[in-house]
Amino acid sequence: MQATLLISLFLSATSITAARTLSSRQAGSIPLSIYDSAGCNNRPTPASIANIPTDGSCFPIYAILTANTDSGIIDTALATLPSGCTITLFTDFTCTSTNFARVTKAGKCFTFGAGRYVSSARTSGTC
């Protein structure tokens, strides 16, 4: 009886730890598809996909050098944003621009307009 109880407790503790680890890995980043011009309205292939970390740090989008980064959309790999999660997009690389857009749901195309690029992003809330 004591051995059965100990084994049950061990397995319960192991599964709780495993579930918590899996959950934090799944919410490690939010995929943001970046498009040239207002492309996300037309759904062509994105120029790039940036994985925005969910830790609230500023994520500069430097890697896209072959295309303008005028528009973006939460990638279709993620059907919905977690409840309470917001992504703020900026036109500068330091997440301090007064030109910003807040994204609270997946599937909505956003743009700053011609010549104003999505240059950085930051998450806030519960992502």
For residue 17, is it within any domain?
A: no
Q: Which residue, chain included where needed, has tokens 């072959």?
A: 66
pLDDT digits (tens), the chain, 127 positions: 444 433 343 444 433 333 333 333 346 899 998 887 767 777 678 888 889 999 999 999 875 556 677 788 888 778 888 889 999 999 999 999 999 999 988 888 888 887 788 899 999 999 8
Query: If we measure between CA atoms, which residue out of 58, 68, 59, 74 comes closest to residue 117?
Result: 68
Residue 13: what pLDDT?
A: 40
Torsion angle in degrees (nearest 10) through CA of 51, 53, 57, 59: -10
The CATH number given to whatever domain includes residue 49 is 2.60.20.10
pLDDT at 88: 96
- Residue 113: predicted pLDDT: 81
Residue 68 lies in a domain: yes
CA-CA distances (angstroms) from residue 111 to 42, 78, 118? 13, 19, 8
Range of the domain at 73: 28-125
Which pLDDT score, from 0 to 100, does residue 8 have?
Answer: 43
Kindly state whether residue 113 falls inside one of the protein's structural domains. Answer: yes
Residue 62 is predicted with a pLDDT of 75
CA triplet 69, 72, 74: central angle to 5 degrees? 145
